Amino acid sequence: MCVLAIETTCDETATAIIDRDLRVLASAVASQERVHDRFRGVVPELAARAHLENIVPMVEKVLSESGIEPVDDLSAIAVATEPGLPGSLIVGVAAAKALCVAWKKPLVAINHVQAHIYACQLGRKESIFPCVGFVVSGGHTNLYHCHSPHHWKYLGGTIDDAVGEAFDKVAVMLGQTYPGGPQISRLASTGNARAFDLPRPLVSDRSTLNMSFSGLKTAVRYHLFGTGKQDFSAHVLKPQLAEDMAASFQQAAVDCLVNKAKLALDITGLKRLCIGGGVAVNTLLRQQMQQELAQDSCDLLIAPPELCTDNAVMGAIAWEKIARGEYSPLTVDIQPGLLRGA
């Protein structure tokens, strides 16, 4: 038996068919990068409209690729109901409900942030729980004590921008396209990470697992364009300057993430860190986490790159709920905000 998982929390319309042994029979992602690129960030209404166009083709794609017969082969339909952009969430949830009615299947509501961490479970026999879960994405930068797939405690997170948002906005200052993370990484590979002395907010404060990235973003802006209100999109930066700033920013952001991840392991006494979310694709982050955790004899699990950015395969967490009979009524609402008690 299989699950059809649907993911439309932000700007990717994704579907997947996953069997009970967490084998992926089909996966499809329609990216909206081209829709949002000229705005250098996600425009919520355009995202919702693009989901509306893409959702049926994406469902049809995984049905035909997997060759399953929905009425016979599906145990349930899973959909991310939280957190995310309201208009985007509504499209996926409405589609999932309609398919539940048409095929007489139960609905499983899943939490997108938990699904990002659960991406580390795919392809592994042993349970990843208990662990510290770290979601580093365009919308979230949160640490959790994950006791089990059903019991998560919020430990701390960004008090302003998500780290991916900072990558995206710094990339705009450096004249790059959206999404900015991969562009910053590329520029940084030929830059000097010590060229600019950028702040690492809250890093020296061991009393909190909270993080902050907006000051780092502003510091980049002041270094590049001064403190005035001029329009930085009019500036053309010298290539070496852009590369050095990309490397300096990337190093500062990674230092903040590694520092708080290690503190979370210290505080909880846990020996395993699981990282998911788009920023976890970042090579420097992966290398630095690996080095630092090896020193502390902790296990590091990072989702494979294709499962870090938004996808529906991580909706495999639905099987954990199905095992306990945790279905949702077809009246279930979306929950756009992050529930810190999650």
Residue 156 interacts, among Zn ion, ligand KG4, none and using kind-specific CB cut-offs from 5 to 8 Å, with none
Residue 185 interacts, among ligand KG4, Zn ion, none and using kind-specific CB cut-offs from 5 to 8 Å, with ligand KG4
For Zn ion, the binding residue among 310, 311, 314, 317 (CB under 5 A) is 310
Residue 121: closest CA among 320, 269, 286:
320
- Indicate whether 179 belongs to the interface with ligand KG4 (CB under 6 A): yes
Residue 133 interacts, among Zn ion, ligand KG4, none and using kind-specific CB cut-offs from 5 to 8 Å, with none
- Indicate whether 181 belongs to the interface with ligand KG4 (CB under 6 A): yes
> Which three-class secondary structure string do you get for the chain?
CEEEEEECCCCEEEEEEEECCCCEEEEEEEECHHHHHHHCCCCHHHHHHHHHHHHHHHHHHHHHHHCCCHHHHEEEEEEEEECCCHHHHHHHHHHHHHHHHHHCCCEEEEEHHHHHHHHHHCCCCCCCCCEEEEEECCCCEEEEEEEECCEEEEEEEECCCCHHHHHHHHHHHCCCCCCHHHHHHHHHCCCCCCCCCCCCCCCCCCCCCCECCHHHHHHHHHHHHCCCCCCHHHCCCCHHHHHHHHHHHHHHHHHHHHHHHHHHHHHHCCCEEEEECHHHHCHHHHHHHHHHHHHCCCEEEECCHHHHCCCCHHHHHHHHHHHCCCCECCCCCCCCCCCCCC
CB of 278 to Zn ion, least distance (A): 6
In the shown chain, the binding pattern of residues 65 to 84 toward Zn ion, with x for contact by CB under 5 A and - for none, equals --------------------
In the shown chain, the binding pattern of residues 280 to 309 toward ligand KG4, with x for contact by CB under 6 A and - for none, equals -xx--------------------------x
CB of 226 to Zn ion, least distance (A): 35
- Indicate whether 138 belongs to the interface with ligand KG4 (CB under 6 A): yes
CB of 194 to ligand KG4, least distance (A): 20
For ligand KG4, the binding residue among 106, 130, 182, 199 (CB under 6 A) is 182
- Indicate whether 279 belongs to the interface with ligand KG4 (CB under 6 A): yes
Judge contact between 174 and 243, C-beta under 8 A. no
Piece in contact with ligand KG4 (CB under 6 A), picked from 28-36, 176-184, 202-210, 324-332: 176-184
CB of 137 to ligand KG4, least distance (A): 3
Binding residues for Zn ion restricted to 123-152, rule: CB under 5 A: 137
CB of 82 to Zn ion, least distance (A): 12
**Residues within the interface to Zn ion (CB under 5 A):** 137, 310
The residues that touch ligand KG4, with contacts defined as CB under 6 A, are 10, 137-139, 164, 167-168, 179-182, 185, 277-279, 281-282, 309-310
